[in-house]
Amino acid sequence: MPEADGLTLTLTELDARLDGFVTEYLKEKSKETAGTYRRSLNEFERWYATERGKFRFRTKDVERYKTYLMEDRGLSQVSVSTYLTALRRFCQYLVDIGLLEENPAKAVKGNRRPSEHSRKVFTEDEIAQLLDGLRTASPIEKRDRAIVYLMLYAGLSEIEIVRADMQDLEQTLLGWYLRVQGKGRTVKDQQVPVDPPVMDAIRLYLDARGRVRPEDPLFVSHGHRSDGERLNTRSVRSRINGLLKATGLKRPGVTPHSLTHTAALIWLNDGLSLEEVRQRMRHGTLDTTMIYFKKQGLLKRSIEERQ
């Protein structure tokens, strides 16, 4: 089939082809390898559904998917490469069974493993600019403000935010903590300190929600059709990206996860030790934390200097 025409599959057909890819094409691979490919392709399948037939397995379609992974999802270069590798192998499977003439993903390369985080971080001026743009007139605005505070001052990621329940908030003699389930983990086995300004933002939001139960999600949707349902990462990403655009901070390289990265610089600037920052960011080694240490001076740069 010519590249210009491409290939259109319904969601049902795509799902069947993905199952065939895993059971036939990966039958010689280990369970772990097959599982990695399938999980990576789950992301592609979700995005494919949002395309509503626009993705037709052409090189330009694969390039658009790569842009989505980098800019909308804000994934690391390593993750983008992993997802593209999975799609490239799947497309080769479609070639081998005669549905495609050429592999459209072959020419779309992944990214090299970065030596430092590629996502931009915010300066003190930009942090002030963002916070000044936050509003608290509605429950949605109070919720979004609390999420920003958790990302910026507690270092939470999108997935940790959406997985959080009311009962994960705990008050101790040393202050408030939030039990989190990070990426790649199966249980909430880590504690994140919740400093007073962050807790105040959470309380303001919870007061607007009214009565909540311990098992309820910490953050819920307030839309007409989904009121009370747990937020998903896509909604969090969309809301934060909207705030970044509204405050003039959205630019290439800046994603919602930039808030999480900036948290490390704030703590270093406040005098926390590298080990304390490592623990708060839940890094496995100090090597990762050192990346932020080398970027510490970026927090002090003014907007004028950046431009």
197-201: long-range contacts, CB 8 A cutoff, minimum separation 24: 197/149, 197/153, 198/146, 198/149, 198/150, 198/153, 198/154, 201/142, 201/145, 201/146, 201/149, 201/150
- Whether 117 has a pLDDT exceeding 50, the answer reads no
- Whether 290 has a pLDDT exceeding 70, the answer reads yes
Helical (H) or strand (E) element with 125: helix 124-132
Task: State residue 301's pLDDT score.
Answer: 59
Task: State residue 115's pLDDT score.
Answer: 46
Task: State residue 36's pLDDT score.
Answer: 86
Give residue-wise pLDDT tens across range 239-275.
999 999 999 999 888 999 999 999 988 998 888 888 8
CA distances (Å), origin 112, targets 69, 81, 117, 282: 15, 8, 12, 24
Residue labelled with tokens 């807790």: 199
- For 183, phi then psi, to 5°, come to -60, 130
Task: State residue 184's pLDDT score.
Answer: 65
Q: Which of 14-28, 98-112, 274-288 has the lowest mean pLDDT?
A: 274-288
Handedness of CA 72, 78, 82, 85 (dihedral sign): positive
Give residue-wise pLDDT tens across range 179-215.
998 766 778 989 999 999 999 999 999 999 989 999 9
Give residue-wise pLDDT tens across range 128-171.
999 999 999 999 999 999 999 999 999 999 999 999 999 999 99
pLDDT tier at 33, thresholds 50, 70, 90: confident
pLDDT tier at 4, thresholds 50, 70, 90: low
Alpha helices in 155-281 (DSSP H): 158-163, 196-209, 233-246, 257-269, 274-281
Task: State residue 296's pLDDT score.
Answer: 67
- Whether 1 has a pLDDT exceeding 50, the answer reads no
Domains of the chain: 11-96 (1.10.150), 124-306 (1.10.443.10)
Evaluate whether 160 touches 181 at the Cβ level (below 8 Å).
yes
End-to-end CA distance of the chain: 48
Burial zone of 133 (CB within 10 Å; 0-12 exposed, 13-18 middle, 19+ buried): middle
Give residue-wise pLDDT tens across range 46-59.
999 999 889 999 99
Helical (H) or strand (E) element with 193: strand 190-194
Distance CA 226, CA 86 (A): 33
Instruction: For residue 176, count other CB atoms closer than 10 A to its CB.
Output: 18
pLDDT tier at 29, thresholds 50, 70, 90: confident
3-state SS, residue 190: strand
Query: Could you tell me the two tokens for 164?
Result: 């959080």
3-state SS, residue 52: coil
pLDDT averaged over every residue in the chain: 88
